[in-house]
Structure formats: structure tokens, C-alpha cells
Homo-oligomer: A and B are copies of this chain.
């Protein structure tokens, strides 16, 4: 779960946490996250491609990532989805946010590896996971080097899976199982 700082240029709104306060809390409380699997669909809704962000992580390794980020205080889940999708895919992505809040699964990122298939050394995060069709033009933003589209088969291939960290490759395969496109 590589996440860019939330609203880094803006002063912290009243009631929101500074990065320092957040760091202190990260080891004490599970945080609410949203994970989005951006997809292209055909006219019948069938998934034809999955979008993955290319980033360089702290260790200088290339990694592929889903759209993922924290739900802020007093922010609705659907607004957090819009915000993170726009932040990562650009303002012209036209994401089709699900009408219903029911996620396809809940990804529990634990700081200890092995408790669940998901792992985040920084924190315990509980992520509501959604498949989100995007209809518009997507461009990598901020810290992402690229946004690449893969077929479901490619995205689930060993080659791409090893570039995903923290169990996001696992979550991607769950998403493909959910939409009937697991290879």
C-alpha cells in the first residue's frame, strides 16, 4: 500500500491529522482505507484491461500498484474513492464509482506478515476493495512513473504479480475472480 501524502500542499484541515500525528497513531489503531482496481470494460461490462501504477519504492525497486489510500475524517468512502482515483489517474479518468458501498472484499493489511494475505509494515489498515471502471483518459500523477494497462491474464501473470507488494497482487487476483476474469 504505497500511498502518497494526502493533500501534501495544503494546510491540514481542522480535525485532520498532521503526518507526525498520523505516524504516532499508525501503530495503535487500524486505519480505514479504500483500494480500487481500475479497469477498462467493454459495452457488456466485461473487463478487458486492468490499470496498474508503476512506482519506485523506498528500496529503489520498480513496483506495480493499485489505487489505494486513506479515508479521511468526515469523508465518505465514495468521496475517498473519487479523490484517490483522481489523484492517481488524473482529473480526466472519469471513474464510475459504485452505486452501492458493498465492497467485493475487505483487505486487512497487517504489520505482521502472514496473518492475512496482505501486509503493510507501517500499519494495520482495513481496506474496502472495489473494482472501478474508468471511461476517460488516465495519466499517471505525482509519484507514479507510468500507468500501464494489462489484460486480466497479464495482470495475474507471475511476471506482473512479483512486481506487486503487500498482497496487492493477491487482491488483484481476487478482483479478477470476482469479475469472472481470473486466468
State the number of copies, please: 4
**CB-contact partner of A73 in B43, B77, B106, B124, under 8 A:** B124
| CB contact under 8 A between A99 and B46, given known A32-B126, A71-B126 | yes
**CB-contact partner of A105 in B45, B46, B102, B117, under 8 A:** B102
Which residues of B are found within 8 Å of A15, using beta-carbon distances?
27-28
**CB-contact partner of A177 in B17, B29, B178, under 8 A:** B178
A31 to B44: give the CA distance in the assembly, Å. Answer: 22
Task: Decide: B79 and A44 in contact? CB cutoff 8 A.
Answer: yes
Contacts of A46-104 to chain B: CB distance below 8 A: 46-47, 71-79, 81-82, 96-104
Q: A residues bordering B, Cβ < 8 Å?
A: 15-17, 21, 25, 27-32, 39, 41, 43-47, 71-79, 81-82, 96-106, 108, 110-112, 115-117, 124, 126, 128, 131, 133, 170, 173-174, 177-180, 182
Task: Sample 26 A-B pairs with CB under 8 A, ordered by A number.
Answer: A17-B29, A21-B28, A30-B71, A32-B32, A44-B81, A45-B81, A45-B96, A45-B99, A71-B126, A74-B110, A74-B112, A76-B116, A77-B106, A77-B108, A96-B133, A99-B131, A99-B179, A100-B131, A102-B178, A103-B106, A126-B128, A173-B182, A174-B178, A174-B182, A177-B177, A177-B182
**Supplied contacts A17-B28, A41-B99, A44-B76, 11 more A-B pairs, CB within 8 Å:** A29-B73, A32-B32, A45-B98, A73-B124, A76-B116, A77-B108, A99-B179, A100-B179, A103-B106, A177-B182, A178-B178
